[in-house]
């Protein structure tokens, strides 16, 4: 008797003592029988199958998705809608980068790819960043970035920055620090005397600027920085000091190795009175790169990303600068030491002082969307040629993107990236057309979109990394490395959670003003608050769920109710004797929910407006699918819709089911949708194309 037969005989003849024991024994028999059957199928030749039980499979081959996938709409027209402006300028700069040896072009699978060499040391990466800046400067890329004014010049600059960050975020950050932060501070916080002296040299790299705002002890709380500047009446100079270690300037891009000048943010103390934070121009290195007297500079060290940026720390030891180096668009100090400002209220003066610095949030928001698009284009193209498992005996393996679960992972994120592209375009337009009257809108929208877009980017990159399996770990395939490069975006230029609370605080101010004056809401898209409360149908059909009117009603209901709840909670805390500041701190959960509600509603409205401007046809139909996917995935993912009762559990289930249907309907358009993103092949990862040839032995020898 074999061991298995003996076991079976023992189990069958043993007298059971308990029902539970008997059930467990029977379960054990079933498992043993099932395993035996499976093993037999593998090892014993089936009578109905005369061929050898061990077949040799044919080798896999790469089939470009273009061979099997149909393009259901005009991808060039879609790209025009997405990129919106300066398409020819973008394509020219893409070509410049592909042709330059400093951009490290490598052939993989018969294609050229450009990406930084991350095998280099931190020091080598920094030097390559500067060589790339020089290469682009020699080809006129930066002409007019500071010396030309107007909407057209600003849009061209933003388009070029979009292209550059698709190659390397370190390069984009260094240019952002030099032109947008250092140069932007002189442009918008300074006056003619500063423009005449500094702007041309900045544009031509006669100097290299950086931006010293953040300190070891203060980041988001700019008003709390500890650097102190006093005025010496005898010499007519300002004297800048770092009074303690927590006041050292920290994370200053460009400071460790290359910058010659910096904008110093400091408390200004005049005649023993602290006038608040002001900005000053200070030289930190001479033309030969030597650190100036009364300044100490140290390295910040290796980072999880952006190692092509030389972040440094700065201490000031009685550094003397001319009185004229105060950026004085808001306030000034006269030669005899009198503090002068047309804005008497310190809070209003501080707000006016920082208002011009929104460019950083604008560029961060748009770069985050481009990063997510690079990840998605690579992961989706890979999933359109990579196969795994067969669902029938001896059948072909299934394309990754033909699995509903894979569609669920990537296609909602693609729809969100489309929606945020439209949101980013809107943000750029209000930025380049900014006026004093639009300052509040620009601040609120840039804060909201910076937070939402950068969070979305990190989530998207992680999902794309996992969707590519082990190939997502390779640096040359870009996705995994982009996570490290873009992680910092969640905290620099404002911590995302703090920014969302600022958004909610601004909305509460609008709410309080409208209620106090008994006037309609106007601005920030809050006009929907003037109408009746939207009603969500008790039974949500597919056609209802895809209706833009229903989607907007659901988003407005959430924003409206959360704003009411936020105001009520604040009032409750105030009635209990809490200060306004403490009440706001205690209401942080509703504040963050409200910030997201505002952002989602604003993005949906922008998407609907973009869709409305497209003529009927296949392009409009696909945009409708994407818009519905964006709206419904937001409904599904935000617990507020269930937490506060905007959706019933049955309706939430209907939303979930509809998202799955939309995934299936978007699947045939996947290739066309990523081709429409306008990112050249050379700027994606090699696995987006012939991943077999890219990993072949010949590529190793090459």
pLDDT digits 0-9 by tens, 468-492: 999 999 999 999 999 999 999 999 8
Residue with the bigger pLDDT between 47 and 673: it is 673
Residue 23: is its pLDDT beyond 50? no
Is position 253 annotated in a ligand binding site? yes
The residue-averaged pLDDT of 219-243 equals: 96
The predicted structure's pLDDT at residue 282: 98
Least Cα distance to 504 among 456, 455, 562, 446 occurs for: 562
Place 48 in a pLDDT band, splitting at 50, 70 and 90: very low
Residue 24: is its pLDDT beyond 50? no
Place 33 in a pLDDT band, splitting at 50, 70 and 90: low
The residue-averaged pLDDT of 181-204 equals: 96
Euclidean distance between CA atoms 234 and 15, whole angstroms: 107
> What is the average pLDDT value for the chain, to the nearest integer?
92
Catalytic residues, by residue number, are 493
Residue 124 tokens, joined: 């080598």
Residue whose structure tokens are 């057209």: 152
Is position 214 annotated in a ligand binding site? yes
The residue-averaged pLDDT of 601-630 equals: 97
| pLDDT tens, position by position, 639-697 | 999 999 999 999 999 999 999 999 999 999 999 999 999 999 999 999 999 999 999 98
Place 4 in a pLDDT band, splitting at 50, 70 and 90: very low
DSSP secondary structure letter of residue 552:
H
The residue-averaged pLDDT of 75-88 equals: 98
| pLDDT tens, position by position, 302-335 | 999 999 999 999 999 999 999 999 999 999 999 9
- Which helix H or strand E contains 266, and what residues bound it? strand 261-270
Residue whose structure tokens are 């442009």: 187
Mean pLDDT lowest among 30-39, 76-85, 309-318, 392-401: 30-39
Place 445 in a pLDDT band, splitting at 50, 70 and 90: very high
Q: Is the dihedral of CA 399, 400, 406, 411 positive or negative?
A: negative
The predicted structure's pLDDT at residue 52: 39
Q: Alpha-carbon dihedral of residues 42, 47, 53, 57, nearest 10 degrees?
A: -110
- Which helix H or strand E contains 268, and what residues bound it? strand 261-270
Residue 42: is its pLDDT beyond 80? no
**In sequence order, what are the residues at sequence separation of 6 or more whose Cβ sits closer than 8 angstroms to the Cβ of residue 591?**
500, 501, 504, 505, 566, 584
């Amino acid at each position: 008797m074999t061991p298995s037969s003996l076991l079976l005989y023992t189990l069958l003849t043993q007298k059971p003592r308990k029902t539970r024991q008997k059930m467990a024994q029977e379960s054990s028999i079933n498992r043993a029988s099932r395993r035996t059957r499976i093993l037999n199928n593998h090892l014993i030749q089936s009578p109905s199958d005369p061929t050898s039980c061990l077949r040799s499979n044919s080798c896999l081959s790469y089939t470009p998705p273009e061979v099997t996938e149909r393009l259901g709409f005009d991808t060039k027209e879609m790209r025009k809608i997405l990129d919106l402006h300066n398409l020819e300028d973008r394509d020219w700069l893409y070509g410049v980068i592909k042709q330059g040896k400093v951009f490290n072009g490598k052939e993989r699978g018969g294609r050229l790819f450009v990406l930084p060499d991350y095998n280099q040391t931190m020091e080598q990466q920094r030097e390559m960043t500067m060589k790339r800046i020089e290469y682009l400067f020699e080809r006129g890329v930066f002409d007019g970035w500071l010396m030309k004014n107007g909407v057209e010049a600003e849009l061209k600059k933003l388009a070029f920055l979009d292209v550059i960050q698709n190659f390397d975020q370190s390069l984009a950050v260094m240019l952002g620090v030099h032109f947008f932060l250092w140069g932007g501070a002189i442009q918008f916080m300074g006056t003619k005397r500063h423009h005449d002296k500094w702007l041309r040299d900045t544009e031509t790299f006669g100097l290299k600027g950086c931006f010293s705002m953040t300190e070891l002890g203060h980041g988001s709380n700019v008003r709390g920085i500890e650097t102190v500047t006093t005025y010496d009446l005898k010499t007519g100079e300002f004297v800048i000091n770092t009074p303690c270690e927590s006041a050292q300037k920290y994370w200053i891009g460009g400071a460790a190795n290359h910058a010659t000048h910096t904008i110093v943010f400091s408390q200004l103390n005049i005649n023993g009175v602290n006038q608040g934070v002001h900005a000053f121009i200070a030289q930190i290195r001479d033309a030969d790169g030597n650190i100036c007297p009364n300044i100490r500079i140290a390295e910040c060290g290796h980072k999880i990303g952006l190692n092509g940026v030389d972040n440094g720390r700065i201490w000031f030891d009685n550094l003397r600068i001319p009185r004229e180096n105060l950026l004085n668009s808001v306030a000034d100090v006269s030669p005899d030491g009198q503090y002068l400002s047309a804005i008497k209220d310190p809070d209003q003066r501080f707000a006016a002082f920082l208002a011009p610095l929104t460019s950083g949030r604008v560029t961060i928001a748009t770069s985050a969307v481009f990063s997510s698009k690079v990840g998605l284009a690579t992961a989706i193209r890979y999933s359109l040629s990579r196969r795994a498992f067969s669902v029938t005996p001896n059948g072909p393996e299934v394309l990754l993107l033909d699995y509903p679960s894979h569609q669920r992972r990537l296609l909602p994120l693609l729809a969100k990236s489309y929606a945020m592209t439209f949101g980013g375009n809107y943000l750029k337009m209000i930025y380049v057309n900014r006026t004093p009257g639009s300052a509040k809108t620009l601040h609120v929208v840039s804060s909201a979109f910076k937070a939402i877009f950068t969070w979305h980017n990190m989530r998207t990159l992680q999902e794309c990394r996992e969707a590519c399996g082990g190939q997502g770990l390779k640096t040359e395939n870009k996705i995994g490395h982009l996570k490290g490069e873009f992680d910092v975006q969640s905290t620099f230029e404002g911590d995302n959670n703090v920014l969302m609370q600022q958004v909610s605080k601004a909305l509460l101010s609008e709410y309080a003003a409208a209620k106090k004056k008994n006037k309609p809401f106007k601005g920030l898209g809050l006009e929907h608050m003037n109408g009746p409360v939207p009603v969500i149908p008790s039974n949500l059909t597919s056609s209802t769920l895809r209706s833009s009117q229903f989607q907007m009603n659901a988003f407005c209901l959430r924003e409206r109710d959360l704003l009411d709840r936020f105001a009520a909670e604040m009032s409750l805390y105030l009635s209990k004797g809490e200060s306004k500041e403490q009440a706001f701190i205690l209401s942080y959960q509703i504040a963050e929910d409200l910030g997201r509600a505002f952002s989602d509603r604003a993005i949906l409205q922008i998407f609907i407006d973009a869709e409305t401007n497209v003529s009927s046809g296949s392009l409009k139909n696909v945009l409708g699918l994407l818009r519905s996917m964006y709206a419904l995935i937001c409904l599904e993912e935000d617990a507020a819709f269930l937490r506060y009762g905007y959706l019933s559990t049955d309706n939430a289930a209907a939303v979930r089911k509809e998202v799955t249907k939309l995934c299936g309907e978007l699947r045939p358009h996947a290739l066309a949708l990523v081709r429409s993103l306008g990112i050249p092949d050379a700027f994606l990862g090699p696995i987006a194309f012939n991943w077999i040839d890219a990993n072949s032995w010949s590529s190793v020898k090459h």
